[in-house]
Structure 1
């Protein structure tokens, strides 16, 4: 994780941006480097400021959060996007994950959970609230498929499954490597194989598929 986590807050409500800044900056290692009022401004500021994490609302006038997330991930894939929104319906959830969001939080999240999520995402982790995860899994089961029209999942090796279980719990590559006694590069290689076999392109998509297929004993 960067020594100083630089965060850009994108939300169309001034009071929400101000309150979010105050919460995040309670932690000395978090610095809010900018605020955007819509998706277009969020994309522009990301290019100017190159934050570690963009905290993104979804329902904004003009360019919405999903489109902004997609553009940010296409142009600056190293920037992590964490969605913070009031929207918990299936379509927003699926579209945000497809766009490349590393996590999805609802605005009723506790202050300490928001701070922990930002720090986790900055380190490469994936963050899903339990309520959001349950909704995603239920939606996947109803749809009878994965997030995209990908081929059926290929069998994973035991080691790939171990890595995926830890990733689905929100651990970063470094934390996974520490728990399994592997190098970070080896963890990255296993994840690359997992993505290819499952037909997904992000940690969050892989985590959701793991939950759908009942590969996790519990969600922590």
Structure 2
């Protein structure tokens, strides 16, 4: 039986960007662009009607920007996973989108493969952070004091947990980590759960930021 496709809604106020993203995604057999939205209000209305699996949300849009739309959709309890599409100048807003509950962050000038990976990852329940955004996010966390420098947390990690955390920071999902370390996905999930508890974070994005901040790399 054929696996159901990932239904994607694209919200961007630039027609060329919307059409370009649509063409890229429709080359993938497991994805279907079900609608295009021109601003935040349009994205909310169409998302309520169509309930896409994944929403690609531009940050800067007229009427209602992507952050406002993200907040409204989360308040409504919509199950769609939301990936923020950003340009370099938007990085200051990323800290806010983490708190609201975005599942992914992709730069508009990133390789198409990064966007495809982000969509698949968030659809499967993972988070995705573009590696080049990590430094900016760490800076924002430091400024606002959301993650501390408690070395005790780092010392509580096992060698294997260090490896898993380093691979999370590289943007790898559980299957990719399992393949890299030659262990089962179930074992990876257990390690990830333990890591979250030990370093006191709630999701993979915060774990990746923690890893970058503390210079944790795969051993």
TM range (shorter): 0.7 to 0.9
Give the structure 1 partner of residue 146 of structure 2.
146
Q: Give secondary structure in 1 for the equivalent of 2:85.
A: strand
Give the structure 2 partner of residue 107 of structure 1.
108
What's the CA shift string for 1:141-174, capped at 9, x where partnerless? 5x27336xx7958344314433322222222233
Unaligned runs of 5+ in 2: none
Q: State the alpha-carbon separation in 1 of the partners of residues 20 and 84 from structure 2.
A: 16
Q: State the alpha-carbon separation in 1 of the partners of residues 96 and 18 from structure 2.
A: 23
Give the structure 1 partner of residue 133 of structure 2.
132
TM alignment of 1:175-194, pairs within 5 A: 175-180=176-181, 184-194=185-195
| Greater mean alpha carbon deviation, residues 92-101 or residues 169-178 | 169-178
Give the structure 2 partner of residue 61 of structure 1.
62
Q: State the alpha-carbon separation in 2 of the partners of residues 177 and 51 from structure 1.
A: 29
User: How much has 1:130 moved relative to structure 2?
Assistant: 3.3
| Greater mean alpha carbon deviation, residues 51-60 or residues 10-19 | 10-19
Q: Give secondary structure in 2 for the equivalent of 1:43.
A: helix
Q: Which has the larger radius of gyration?
A: 2
- Verify: 1:38 aligned to 2:39, yes or no: yes
Q: State the alpha-carbon separation in 1 of the partners of residues 45 and 183 from structure 2.
A: 38
User: How much has 1:204 moved relative to structure 2?
Assistant: 0.9
8 A Cα contact 2:92 2:140, kept in partner: no
8 A Cα contact 1:151 1:199, kept in partner: no
User: How much has 1:207 moved relative to structure 2?
Assistant: 0.7
With over 3 angstroms needed to count, the CA separation of the structure-2 counterparts of 1:76 and 1:189, relative to structure 1, is farther
User: How much has 1:184 moved relative to structure 2?
Assistant: 4.2
| Greater mean alpha carbon deviation, residues 64-73 or residues 150-159 | 150-159
User: How much has 1:96 moved relative to structure 2?
Assistant: 1.8
Aligned residues: 213
Q: State the alpha-carbon separation in 1 of the partners of residues 197 and 73 from structure 2.
A: 23
User: How much has 1:37 moved relative to structure 2?
Assistant: 2.0
- Verify: 1:76 aligned to 2:78, yes or no: yes
Q: State the alpha-carbon separation in 1 of the partners of residues 184 and 74 from structure 2.
A: 26
Q: State the alpha-carbon separation in 1 of the partners of residues 139 and 107 from structure 2.
A: 17
With over 3 angstroms needed to count, the CA separation of the structure-2 counterparts of 1:68 and 1:28, relative to structure 1, is same
8 A Cα contact 2:131 2:171, kept in partner: no
Q: State the alpha-carbon separation in 2 of the partners of residues 40 and 193 from structure 1.
A: 39
Q: Give secondary structure in 1 for the equivalent of 2:89.
A: coil
